Amino acid sequence: MRESILIYRNHLYLKLAALVSLVATTAYVWHTPFERPNGGTWLGYTLGVVAGGLMIWLAWFGVRKRKYGIGKLRLEDWLSAHVYMGLALAIVATLHAGFQLNWNVHSALYVLMMIVIISGIVGVYFYIRFPIMLTENRRGMTAEVMLTQITDLDREIRQLAMGLDDATNAAVLKASQETIVGTTLFSQLRGFDEDCETTQARRFVEDSEGSGESTSRRQLLTRLVRKEELLKRIRRDVQLRCLLKTWLICHVPFSVAALMALAVHVVTVFYYW
């Protein structure tokens, strides 16, 4: 229906980023300094200014995203440009460094910046893939609707269990009281729980098949299976949304760290000039 940010405006920002990278690379190949290429030549300084400018501009996205109702461009333009310019930064900065890495603050900046860029690439993957995965997983329902359905199922399950033996009752009650979705970051990211109380209750009812009251037992089982299936989808939903959030939690602090390293880098360069 609509296009994604990668092909937005017929790849306008890809073309722009490619142009920046191409100019930088051509200049780098054409330029033959006295020593091996580094940030201290005139081209090195130029590329450094471009790279630093790009970094600050890329970080500005966080502010622009929260400035609402201003500017001529849509946020979609900004994000598309943010993605491609971020990739161009990797090239420009590498050329600025002249492919040199050492144990110093300058390389620390480089490493931090690359972490941010790589996490950005991961983010793009998430942004392109997850909406479809989320939608498919939800099948037209919202998380809230799924939870309401679970509550309804729970009520039915408890009612059915009332007419059954104590052990079944206890297992079912435990399932409805102790089934948990999410809580810790780890369990949210994991996205499934094979030892879920509901699964245990389902297994228990499956195993006790044949111990009388077969009709209610079968009804109970179908409801437990349905609840398990819903739980599976909710956990998946939580996982995907949590991934989107945690991803941002990685991307942003590293970019702040990279900005600080940029400041240190610039100060030390001029201090030791």
**Are 120 and 45 within 8 A, CB to CB?**
no
Minimal distance, residue 218 CB to another protein, in Å: 32
Contacts 24+ apart (CB under 8 A), 125-134: 126/243, 126/244, 126/247, 127/4, 127/5, 128/4, 128/6, 130/240, 130/243, 130/244, 133/240, 134/237, 134/240, 134/241
Residue of the chain from 30, 36, 42, 69 that contacts another protein (CB under 8 A): 69
Quick check: helix, strand or coil at residue 40? Answer: coil
Asked if residue 157 lies in contact with residue 205, where contact means CB atoms within 8 angstroms, the answer is no
The distance of closest approach from Cβ of residue 268 to another protein in the complex, given in angstroms and rounded to an integer, is 25
Q: Which of residues 76-115 bind another protein (CB under 8 A)?
A: 76, 78-79
Q: Which of 18, 57, 107, 126 binds another protein (CB under 8 A)?
A: 126
Does position 74 bind another protein by CB under 8 A?
yes
Which of 131, 203, 206, 209 is in the footprint of another protein by CB under 8 A?
A: 131
Closest distance to another protein from the beta carbon of 153 (Å): 21
Q: Based on the number of CB atoms within 10 Å of its own CB, is 263 exposed (0-12), middle (13-18) or buried (19 or more)? A: exposed
* 63 touches another protein by CB under 8 A: yes
Contact 188, 242 (CB under 8 A): yes
Which member of 138, 190, 226, 236 binds another protein (CB under 8 A)?
138
Q: Which stretch binds another protein (CB under 8 A): 113-121, 140-148, 160-168, 260-268?
A: 140-148
Backbone Cα Rg of the chain: 28
Residues that bind another protein (CB under 8 A): 1-5, 8, 62-63, 65-69, 71-72, 74-76, 78-79, 126-127, 130-132, 134-135, 138, 140, 142-144, 241, 244
